Each structure stands twice: as structure tokens, then as C-alpha cells.
Amino acid sequence: MRSTRRFALTLLTATLLGSWGPLAAQTPTELAATHRAGQTILTWRELPGVGNEHYRIYRHVQPITSANLASAMQVAQIPDSSAMYLTERWMTDYGMTPVQQNFIIADLGPELEDTQGMHVFTVHEGEEALAYYAVTSVAQGTENRTIAPGQNSLTAGVAEGFDEPLPVMVWRSTNGRAMVFTQFMDFRAWNPTMDGYVYNYFVSLPEGYDPGQEYPLFLQISGWGTRYVEAFTDHANGTGYGWPAIQIFGDDPHQSWYYGYAKDHSWGDEWPQYIWGELPSNPEAGSVSNFTEQRLLRAIHDVVRDARFNVDENRIYAYGHSMGGSGALALGMRYPNVFAAVYCSEPMTNYDASELWMGDTAPKWGLPFHALPVINEGAFASHLTQYDGTNVWLWMNHRAGMVDRWRDDMAYIVTYHGTQDEVVDWETQGAPWYDIMDGRTQGWVGAALPIDHTWWGFLDTPNFTFGDFSFRKDRSFPGFSNSTLNLVVPDSLAYYNFGIEWSCPWNDFAGDVVETPDRWEVALRLYDPGLPGLETMPDHGTVDVTTRRVRQFLPPPGTQCYWRNFQLPGNEVVQTGQTTPSDTGIVTLVAATVTKAGNRLVISTSTPADEQDHGVPVTPTLSRPTPNPFLHETSIHYTMPRAAKVEVGVYTLVGEKVRTLKEGTVGQGTHVERWNGTDALGAPVPAGVYAVRLTTADGDAGAVRVIRIR
């Protein structure tokens, strides 16, 4: 897409000038500079009657003249029409109403004019100075290096400091509760040839907003082909749904699926002039940066630090549907340092498996065989740099991320998919996700519903209700996996981890989660979800429980941890056992009994004083197979608190025995059995999900799922 000025003046320019000779003598005029919060905003008057020139911006510590231009630093070369906000103008082509046509550089100030140019220079640490700028023009590849002080060169310096940039408020509703902000990203660290380096986002405040009290904040991100102005439909006078929270509505103009795009690839030197939805070429080399994540996280950061808003940083959330749900899922998996919980409606879980969306994502990330590596940048991604270099298609495979990053903490995650969905299709995105997640140790709930690509609404639990916003980032919580209480009707209806709740300050039935350096405890209880197809729960069941978002109880690898399960309300001991933590200090209890009356699980690094309870069966601990999923062989570890006769077997999910791995008496301590994916006759079994079950003389000691892949 070319600018209006370019189309209108092309014929006139060719007729009157005939060649570039006369233009070479022209220079930009009216150069001006304003410094605010670590950024210098430059504006100038572009060459009259041209429309396809470029401009070079120079910086120096002394006034720039023709004589010293060669020693000045060139900080950017940008195309003409740089005051026009093209990603906003695109909206009109699709029936949307933008808040502006051109950039605004002061809070609620006027728009720049079509004939002006603009560039924003971000000062890096160590670059603080009294700086001078000059702007030259480039026509048909030839630069006019003429410097006219006071016209295209500043005669007075700009006092520049290093600081966190601030957004500009460009629109506000009449009642003052809805606003649009423009954020200017760091041009030198950005790839502007995709969507430029300037973005808008929407902020709204709840009715009766009181700046004297803290509010939760939620990030709502739109689906494919929609923009942040969709928020005006329901939220222009305040927060959506009437929620008592501050809302940010972000968008993704060219569908980077809320991650980012190639760092150095050029989509054209007249950026971003292409037609919305069409990109001229695919990247084939270089890295892929998390550009979109960076600006969404900075929007949150800017709202948090803005004195006009009062945000409880322990109650920040994200949600979305389709592409928005995909972005919310990725943010929750990657940024538990920001988000308490995320709600993800019908998200993508493995982009490489989707034929439908390959053509949409490859222009940003390259084709899968290019295997471009990711680079995670920005103030909030330091914990992710250990994954830099990962193939972007693997990084955007969230199922693989759940397997490879099982040790990492994540936000509390809610997902649902439609078993009739053909957009984010069930076969490649939904069904495999729940096969993986059922055995993950993260804090999550999920559902497979008999719907198509439809926004279903919010599936709430006593611990996390979107709209109540009580769930906190600064609290430890249990991760549930391998629950015997899950309802699973293949390819029809399924609920995972619904019906199990834990006690905490906002759902207090037996006190808060307790965490000290040598002790972690939580009270669990079954409840009736009242969901279609899952109205009630049995009186009891078992579930694996993992310590999550722990800050104090992080025992070193190899530490012997003792656990007990107390039946509420009488506190009778019904299970005991031993286990060891992962290399990052998280602890998983296998097959803990949970009842409607309630149970308290206590994990300690020292033997409890009343360990010798008489008449209580001592339960072995069966740990998660590693690796899982596996290709050639997996190891099954289990710990015996005393010597006993055991049987360890592999079964199909319908209970048919595949192979016996161990049968006989084993001593106290930890043991390991290995399975190479074969049956009792030594023949390889098909790829799929299997159960490893341990039984003793006291009965069934539980089962863990293992996934065999080819």
C-alpha cells in the first residue's frame, strides 16, 4: 500500500520535473526535536511534491554542518511519509475506525501533517549527551548532503538522558475511563520493515475507579484479523464485562501470533507500504525475535508504573480466543514473572502441524526447513535466553515446550478446544495437547467441548475465576496431573482437573498453602463442577500433586522428602511415602488420595515425629517416567519405604496388560525399571499413551502415564 500523497503526486512530479536533477538541490526543512523519557522525537518537513524519497538521520555531539557530516553517526534511513501511521490507516480498508491517521507526539496533542517526517531515537545507556541532529534526503539512491543550519540541521543541542521510554496518550473517552496510547519502540533494536516500530494499545478503567486502591490488570489480545479498536465496541466507556479491573487491549497488525518475526529480514525498504495481510517475501536466514511479546509486556509495564493507574502486580492476567488464545498460552508458559494466570480459548499448540496456518506464519518465521533460531529479548525475557538458538518452529510447538520445560514454573493455565473445530483443528491442535497435558505437572485445567471454532465463555473453578481475579502470582499452588477423576470421552467431551480444589485465602476451607524451607502443605477437596457432562464427582479419587511456584521449599536434588496424607476433618493418616525433588527443587507426589471431605498433604525434608502410625499402609512412590514422551527407552523410578513384593507392569488405557517389567520382592529405597516400548513377546507396540502401574500386597499403588512416539 502506498501513501495517498505518493499516488496523487506521481504524475505531477514526472511532468514538472522530468528528472531528479532539480530535486537533488532540495533539503528537508523545519527540523525540530523534543526529548522525553529517554527518547528524542524528530520532525521535519519533507521534500515538496516528491513522494518516493528516503531520509537519513544523523546525530553528533556538535552542530552538524556540511564539513563535519561525515563524522556524524547515521542513526536511521527511513522512507517518506513517515508521519503517516500506516498500520492505523489500514484499518479503514477493513471497515474499522482508527483513532488517528498520523502520529501524535504529545499527550492528546494534534496529529502530524501528511507532509511531515518523523523519527524517534532511543538513547542507550552511555549515550547521554547534548546532541545535535541533521536530516538529509536520498532520491534514486543519491543523497543530497547539503546542510542548511536551522533548516535540516539543529543549531541548538538536545539534552538527552537515558531513561525508560513513556507512551503518548493519543485518545481519551469523554468520561476519562478509556484511553489509547502510542508506544515508540527502540528503532535500532527493532525490525521496522514488518509493521514499523510504533504501536497502539487500549487501556480502560472500571466504573467507580479509585486510584487509591489496587486493581488487578488483564491483557486481552485479539484474534486473527482483528485490531485493538475492537475494544471500542464494548469497552470504550470502561472495562469489559463490568469487571473490577484495569484492562489492556493489544493487537498484532500482521499476525505474528503474538510472538514476533525475523530480526534482520527486510520486507521492503519502503516499509511498511505493503497491503495489509500480504507480505512480499519469506525470511530464509537470520534469527526470529520476540518483538510482539516485547511490546505487549512493555505496555503492561508502562501501565503498572503510570501514576494514573494503581495495579496489583501479583494479579496480572491474559486471555484471548483463537490467535489471541494462542498468544495468551505462550505468554503464560513463558512469563510467570509477569502473569498470575492465563485463559486460552481454542489456542494453537503446534504451528508446524497446521497446514491451514503455515502460509500465515512462514512469512514471519521462515519455512520449517529453514529452522531459523529464536532470540528472546527485552527486559522480561532474561530467564528465557537459555533457550535462544531453538528452532522457532520447535519454540512455537507448545506441546514440546510442556515436555522440554516441565521443570520451569509457568502461570496457571486454562485451555479449552472444540472437538468440531476446523480452524484451529482438533486433530492436530486440540487432541494431541490433552494427551500431553494430562501427564504434565503444571498447574492447569482443560476441556474438550463438542463445539466448533466458537468462543464458549469462561470455565471457572473455585480457585480461578476470570472476572474475580483473586488468583495471585506470589502464592504457591499445586499442579495436578494423571487424575483418575478426569472425564474423557475420546474426540467428544473431556474435562481435566476440574472437580479438584485447594484451600487458599480466596477459597478458604482449610487454611492457606504452607511453605517454609523444609515444609510444604496444601489442603485438597473434591467438589461438584456442575459442568455439562460433569455435574458431579465421585467421593474419592487419586491425582499426582506437584509443588508449583515455590519460593522457599526448594530441596536440593537427592534430598529425601517424606510425605503424609491426612484425612479431614479428623486428621487420620491415610497415606505415607517418600520421594525426591527434581533438579530444580519441585516435588511430585504420585497418586495422592483426594476426597470430598478433604485431605491435607504434608511434605517435609525431615521424618515427621509421628511417622510410626500403626495400622497405616505405607505406600510406595511411583515417579514420572523419563524421558516422557520417549522414542527408544524410558525409565520408571519408584521408591519403597520398606521391603515388599511388587509388580510393575505396562498397560493400555483400557486395562490390557502389555508387559511386566518387574515381579518380585524389592528392598527399601529407590528402584528403576526400563521399558523399551515392546510387548511381552519383544514386538514394538504402536505409538500412543500407556499406563505404568505399580501394585503391592497392600493394593494398587497408583499409575503414571507414558507416551510412546515413533
Strands 412-418 and 444-449: parallel
Grid coordinates of 246: 484495569
> Mean pLDDT throughout 313-342?
97
Q: Give the type of residue at 395.
A: W
| pLDDT of res. 642 | 67
- Give the model's confidence band at 610: pLDDT under 50 very low, under 70 low, under 90 confident, else very high: very low
Give the pLDDT score at 698: 65
Report for 78-82, 279-283, 617-621, 642-646: range of highest mean pLDDT: 78-82
d(CA 251, CA 49): 34
Among 8-12, 118-122, 541-545, 623-627, the least confident range: 8-12
pLDDT given for residue 11 in this prediction: 32
**227-256 per-position pLDDT tens digit:** 888 888 766 666 667 889 999 999 999 999
CA atoms within 13 A on the CB side of 510: 22
- Phi, psi for residue 26 in degrees, rounded to 5: -90, 150
The pLDDT assigned to 616 comes to 43
Locus of grid cell 556538535: 62
Rounded CA-CA distance 329/344 in Å is 6
pLDDT given for residue 709 in this prediction: 66
pLDDT greater than 50 at residue 148:
yes
Mean pLDDT of 310-318: 97
Q: Is it the case that residue 17 has pLDDT exceeding 80?
A: no
Q: Contact, 390 vs 404, CB < 8 A?
A: no
Higher pLDDT, 597 or 3: 597
Is 7's pLDDT higher than 50?
no
pLDDT at 611 over 70: no
pLDDT digits (tens, 9 = 90+) for 364-392: 999 999 999 999 999 999 999 999 999 99
Per-residue pLDDT, 74? 97
pLDDT, tens digit (0-9, with 9 covering 90-100), for 536-582:
999 999 999 999 999 999 999 999 999 999 999 999 999 999 999 99
H or E element, residue 181: strand 178-184
Note whether 219 and 248 are within 8 A (CB).
Answer: yes
Residue 69 pLDDT > 60 = yes
- The average pLDDT across 434-456 equals 94
pLDDT in tens, 253-304: 999 999 999 999 999 888 888 876 788 889 999 999 999 999 999 999 999 9
Short-list 597, 2, 596, CA closest to 273: 2
Cell numbers for 270: 519502503
Tell whether the model's pLDDT for residue 107 goes beyond 90. yes
pLDDT score at 432: 95
pLDDT at 14: 36
CB atoms within 10 A of CB 679: 12
Of 40-49, 575-584, 585-594, 643-652, minimum mean pLDDT range: 643-652
Mean pLDDT of 2-28: 43
- Cβ count near 67 (within 10 Å): 8
Q: Which positions ≥6 away from 488 have C-beta within 8 Å?
A: 494, 496
Which residue, among 71, 45, 57, 40, has the nearest Cα to 151 in the 3D structure? 45
Q: Alpha-carbon distance 49 to 18, whole Å?
A: 13
Residue 21: predicted pLDDT: 41
Of 204, 208, 201, nearest to 240 by C-alpha is 204
Going from the N-terminus, what domains does the chain have, and what CATH number goes with each?
Answer: 4-160 (2.60.40.10), 168-474 (3.40.50.1820), 506-616 (no CATH), 620-710 (2.60.40.4070)
Contacts of 260 (CB under 8 A, 6+ apart): 288, 289, 290, 291, 292, 293, 294, 364
